[in-house]
Structure 1
Amino acid sequence: MANNLDHVFTALSDPTRRAVIAQLGQGEAPIKALAGPHDMALPSFLKHIRQLERAGLVTSRKIGRTRICTLHPEALDTVDDWLAAQRRIWTGRLDRLETYLDQTEVPE
């Protein structure tokens, strides 16, 4: 899980890749359409697609000469699970701190 989590966080760390994920949230799209809004050469853009594929967020398939990308949002479940665990840890810590502070007498 940790390795996949690292790949997903790495993929999400870049604004271009986040924009591609948002675009694919609307449905499948060819790479040329995904690359259109981004000011970069196609080979550079394809590096972003490979990073998203490595994280399991996106798959691509070839139809004729066109490469179509599909979003796999279930890959974000590892991030969601990790964040939920962190939330539980910090909620517990803050609850214990609140209890301690409530029990500590403040001199007036």
Structure 2
Amino acid sequence: MKWVFEGEIFEWRGPAPYYFVAMSEVDSAELKEEARSLIYWGQVPVRVVIGETEFRTALFPKDGRYLVPLKDAVRAAEDLSEGDVVAVTLRPAERQA
């Protein structure tokens, strides 16, 4: 199964700044159900495509939604900044050992 959605890039300042795109609550609930066997520590391993860049990451749950973390390398490759709206395609991925 795959999810395709658009979202705005936002910055969350923790110990270091991180950038994310949030899934909708409906898509997040559906993903949580579909990927139940893959979830660990609340995170879901996924394969993500943004533009021409494909990468693996783990989604973080926050306030009923999953957040897609955007590494600096992904943002640089796609010339993305905070506030940009991006199209995201993601699929659950097997956990890496």
TM-score by length of 2: 0.28
Higher helix share: 1
Higher strand share: 2
Instruction: Find the structure with the greater CA-based Rg.
Output: 1
Structure possessing the higher relative contact order (Cα contacts under 8 Å, 6 or more residues apart): 2
